[in-house]
Amino acid sequence: MKSKVFHISPTGQIETLYSEELPLFALGTTTITRASNIEFNNTEQLWEVKINDRILFSDASRARCIDWEHRYFNRVLMAK
């Protein structure tokens, strides 16, 4: 399992990257919101990590895009 970062607000709300490796549903009501999209760019022949149609990272490997996405959002959560 990759390392997980959790942000717990003063009201008890937990923010983290979703993974089926952890039983988040056992903690109570779960709301899942997509933070980004990883899409293949047919013209560029690259996978792209996008937020609101803005490309944050691209690579020929989808796995590297997923890894980059996890590191990026873990940093965002750690900064909260």
Domain boundaries, the chain: 7-78
* pLDDT tens figures, 43-62: 999 999 999 999 999 999 99
Distance, in Å, from the CA atom of 75 to the CA atom of 80, rounded to the nearest integer, reads 9
As a 3-state breakdown, the chain gives helix, strand, coil percent values, each rounded to 5, of 25, 25, 50
Identity of residue 42: N
Helical H segments across the chain, by residue range:
62-78
| pLDDT, one tens digit for every residue, the chain (80 residues) | 467 788 899 998 888 888 788 888 888 888 889 999 999 999 999 999 999 999 999 999 999 999 999 999 999 999 98
- Containing 39, the helix (H) or strand (E) segment is strand 37-41
